[in-house]
């Protein structure tokens, strides 16, 4: 099934997205955030927490902020500490975190010759990035040996709040047929300005994203992948105030995917827009380097806005997300752009509108592992009706060859899924795929039919919206509520105090190396 589309108009949309993103990239080049600085420390291996449980990366960056020294960057001072004190990276960070809080601390004693600093940086950063690359290559080899499941990949969620309960549920879901396991994150975590440490057994609405929790899940999934002879992927959330750090931890622990959207935190978590835009860039450079597939969150727009009226906002946001990702060095094959099956089920021929949208996105982003989200907004407590609704979603998934299929759960809107709910969800998709996989090869589309007309209408509306966003600028457009009917102002939201302008002496060799990788698309 191919919809006749205006190829020139698609090209113009990409060009507009490029122009919309360009001034933001210029802003990002001259700014950093506390979470970017902590992430840079984490890349070099700074880890662990103090006696109160505060992560050392936070302690050290907080000390720099308190002393008004952060504009040089955390690695400027860490390199100085390590060189002048003859310390390891970890010891240097801890020492600086503590000593740097003293009012009489001699910061000038940490200033070293640029040549020594460069030499230190080359050694440290090369080593750290080689380690990450080695882990990536090893995982890639493991994955290739076992082989990926055919698409659509079955994406299932576990969310008990307790990693020790999540892991057996994840393994059970994998054995039942899941190809991707997402551990839903504790709802409060997006607004924490630190990453919790260690394994966690308590979390509301989900489980805390921590390096130790990532490790436990990935290791259990490695085992079950061997058992099944099929690679099972793990995903988590690089969103919120700690986007860059989560990406680093995910890269270090071998996660395969991350929810990682350029705008989601701004719109749905009310995080300051400059904070998120800067954070997403560094975060995505890490993801690009580590080979992590990102998932974007445009599906969320349709939980607040109407899926027919606002269908085009999903598409224009996908163009913007694509451009931000591309600028950060993410390959198209790593861009899981998000969209959703959220049209009111009572709409006559609504299924045709769903097919139009799903196929439109498929054709415009042919190399991208699209992430398709099931209906939630119009799901009620009638589980039998919901199951029918999810069947139609699965049919659209199969007909339009979506890549990542988040399985629709018949008890959506009632409770976190029961084990049987996941089993039934898999059964549903397996049935639809097996029973109708060849369907679309048998049909050609009416060139001026309902589906083609709707798809072209959405494309034209997206083009018009991108032209408007380009005219007023992304920041002003966010203020107008261009996405999800949510309005955000440049000085509003959480985390703005953590954004700073890079000083003249700003030194971040991790950023530099990742950016070089992003631009060249080659290794370190």
Partner 1 sequence: METNGNTQDTPTQPEWRAVKAYGDTLNDGAMQFSFCLPVPAGRQAEEAAKLLLAKMGMTDPLITSIEPMGPELTFFVAYARCPHSVDYAAIEIPLSSFPVMDMHGVDAFIETNFGHSITVLGACIGTDAHTVGIDAIMNMKGYDGHYGLERYRMVNAVNLGAQVPIEHLVARARELQADALLVSQIVTQKNAHVTNMTQLVELLEAEGLREQVVLIAGGPRISHQLATELGFDAGFGPGTYAEDVASFVVFEMQRRASSV
Q: Could you tell me which of 506, 511, 497, 507 has the C-alpha nearest to residue 65?
A: 497
Indicate whether 381 belongs to the interface with partner 1 (CB under 8 A): yes
Sign of CA dihedral 433, 435, 441, 444: negative
Q: Is 264 a catalytic residue?
A: yes
Indicate whether 420 belongs to the interface with partner 1 (CB under 8 A): yes
Which residue from 101, 419, 439, 505 is in contact with partner 1, where contact means CB under 8 A? 419
Which residue from 54, 111, 172, 392 is in contact with partner 1, where contact means CB under 8 A? 172
Nearer to partner 1, 193 or 306 (CB): 306
Which residue from 380, 436, 497, 512 is in contact with partner 1, where contact means CB under 8 A? 380
Nearer to partner 1, 268 or 351 (CB): 268
Q: In the bound complex, what is the minimum distance in angstroms from residue 271's beta carbon to partner 1?
A: 11
Using an 8 Å Cβ cutoff, are 191 and 241 in contact?
A: yes
Nearer to partner 1, 218 or 378 (CB): 378
Q: Give the CB-side neighbour count of residue 232, counting CA atoms within 13 A.
A: 29
**Count of residues in the chain:** 524
Tell me if residue 203 falls in helix, strand or coil: coil
58-66, 142-150, 209-217, 373-381 -> range binding partner 1 (CB under 8 A): 373-381
d(CA 384, CA 374): 16
Which residue from 191, 352, 392, 467 is in contact with partner 1, where contact means CB under 8 A? 191
Indicate whether 175 belongs to the interface with partner 1 (CB under 8 A): yes
Q: In the bound complex, what is the minimum distance in angstroms from residue 17's beta carbon to partner 1?
A: 27
Using an 8 Å Cβ cutoff, are 393 and 375 in contact?
A: yes
CA distances from 61 to 57, 380, 396 (A): 6, 47, 48
Using an 8 Å Cβ cutoff, are 473 and 327 in contact?
A: no
> Site map for partner 1, 471-490, x if CB under 8 A?
--------------x-----
What does the block give as tokens for 293?
Answer: 């597939």
d(CA 330, CA 280): 12
> Site map for partner 1, 265-284, x if CB under 8 A?
---xxx--------------
Which residue from 308, 414, 472, 496 is in contact with partner 1, where contact means CB under 8 A? 414
Indicate whether 204 belongs to the interface with partner 1 (CB under 8 A): yes
- The active-site residue out of 301, 371, 377, 393 is 371
- What element of type H or E holds 501? strand 499-501
What does the block give as tokens for 253?
Answer: 């622990």
Q: Could you tell me which of 441, 436, 424, 420 has the C-alpha nearest to residue 154?
A: 424
d(CA 265, CA 158): 22
Q: Is 299 a catalytic residue?
A: yes
Q: Which residues are CB-contacts of 310 (< 8 A; sequence separation ≥ 6)?
A: 301, 302, 484, 485
Which ranges constitute the DSSP H helices of 155-257? 163-176, 211-228, 243-253
Indicate whether 226 belongs to the interface with partner 1 (CB under 8 A): no
30-38, 359-367, 372-380, 455-463 -> range binding partner 1 (CB under 8 A): 372-380
Q: In the bound complex, what is the minimum distance in angstroms from residue 422's beta carbon to partner 1?
A: 9
Torsion (CA) 247, 250, 251, 256 in degrees, nearest 10: -110
295-314 positions binding partner 1, by CB under 8 A: 303-306
- The active-site residue out of 299, 353, 377, 494 is 299
Indicate whether 423 belongs to the interface with partner 1 (CB under 8 A): yes
Size of the site for partner 1 (CB under 8 A): 32
93-101, 184-192, 208-216, 242-250 -> range binding partner 1 (CB under 8 A): 184-192
Q: What residues make contact with partner 1 under the rule CB under 8 A? A: 161, 172, 175-176, 186-188, 190-191, 204-205, 268-270, 303-306, 344, 376-377, 380-381, 413-414, 416, 418-420, 423-424, 485
- Which sequence positions are flagged as catalytic? 264, 299, 371
């Amino acid at each position: 099934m191919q919809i006749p589309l205006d190829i020139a108009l698609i090209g113009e949309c990409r060009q507009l997205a490029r122009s919309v993103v360009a001034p933001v990239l210029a802003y990002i080049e001259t700014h950093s955030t506390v979470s970017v600085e902590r992430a840079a420390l984490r890349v070099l291996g700074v880890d662990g927490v103090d006696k109160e449980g505060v992560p050392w990366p936070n302690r050290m960056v907080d000390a720099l902020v308190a002393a008004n020294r952060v504009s040089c960057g955390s690695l400027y001072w860490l390199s100085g500490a390590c060189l002048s004190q003859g310390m390891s990276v970890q010891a240097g960070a801890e020492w600086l975190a503590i000593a740097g809080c003293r009012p009489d601390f001699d910061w000038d004693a940490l200033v070293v010759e640029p040549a020594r600093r460069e030499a230190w940086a080359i050694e440290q950063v090369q080593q750290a990035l080689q380690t990450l690359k080695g882990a990536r290559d090893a995982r890639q080899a493991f994955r290739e040996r076992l082989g990926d499941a055919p698409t659509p990949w079955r994406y299932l969620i576990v969310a008990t709040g307790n990693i020790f309960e999540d892991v057996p549920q994840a393994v059970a879901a994998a054995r039942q047929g899941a190809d991707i396991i997402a551990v839903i994150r504790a709802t409060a975590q997006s607004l924490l300005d630190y990453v919790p440490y260690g394994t966690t057994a308590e979390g509301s609405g989900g489980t805390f994203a921590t390096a130790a929790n990532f490790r436990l899940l990935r290791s259990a999934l490695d085992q079950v992948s061997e058992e099944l002879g099929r690679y099972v992927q793990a995903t988590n959330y690089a969103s919120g105030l700690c986007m860059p750090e989560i990406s680093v931890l995910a890269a270090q622990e071998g996660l395969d995917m991350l929810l990682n959207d350029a705008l989601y935190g701004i719109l749905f978590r009310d995080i300051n827009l400059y904070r998120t835009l800067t954070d997403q860039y560094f975060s995505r450079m890490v993801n690009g380097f580590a080979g992590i597939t990102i998932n974007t969150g445009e599906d969320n727009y349709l939980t607040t806005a109407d899926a027919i009226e606002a269908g085009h906002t999903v598409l224009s946001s996908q163009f913007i997300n694509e451009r931000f990702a591309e600028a950060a060095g993410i390959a198209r094959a790593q861009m899981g752009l998000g969209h959703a099956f959220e049209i009111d089920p009572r709409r006559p021929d609504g299924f045709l509108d769903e097919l139009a949208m799903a196929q439109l996105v498929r054709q415009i982003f042919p190399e991208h592992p699209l992430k398709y989200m099931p209906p939630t907004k119009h799901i009620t407590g009638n589980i039998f009706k919901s199951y029918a609704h999810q069947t139609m979603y699965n049919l659209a998934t199969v007909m339009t060859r979506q890549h990542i299929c988040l399985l629709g759960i018949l008890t959506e809107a009632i409770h976190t899924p029961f084990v049987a709910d996941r089993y039934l969800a898999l059964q549903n998709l397996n049935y639809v795929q097996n029973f109708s996989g060849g369907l679309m090869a048998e049909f050609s589309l009416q060139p001026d039919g309902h589906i083609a007309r709707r798809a072209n209408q959405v494309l034209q509306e997206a083009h018009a919206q991108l032209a408007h966003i380009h005219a007023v600028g992304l920041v002003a457009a966010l203020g107008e509520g261009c996405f999800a009917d949510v309005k955000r102002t440049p000085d509003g939201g959480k985390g703005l105090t953590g954004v700073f302008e890079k000083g003249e002496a700003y030194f971040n060799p991790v950023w530099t190396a990742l950016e070089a990788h992003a631009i060249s698309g080659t290794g370190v």
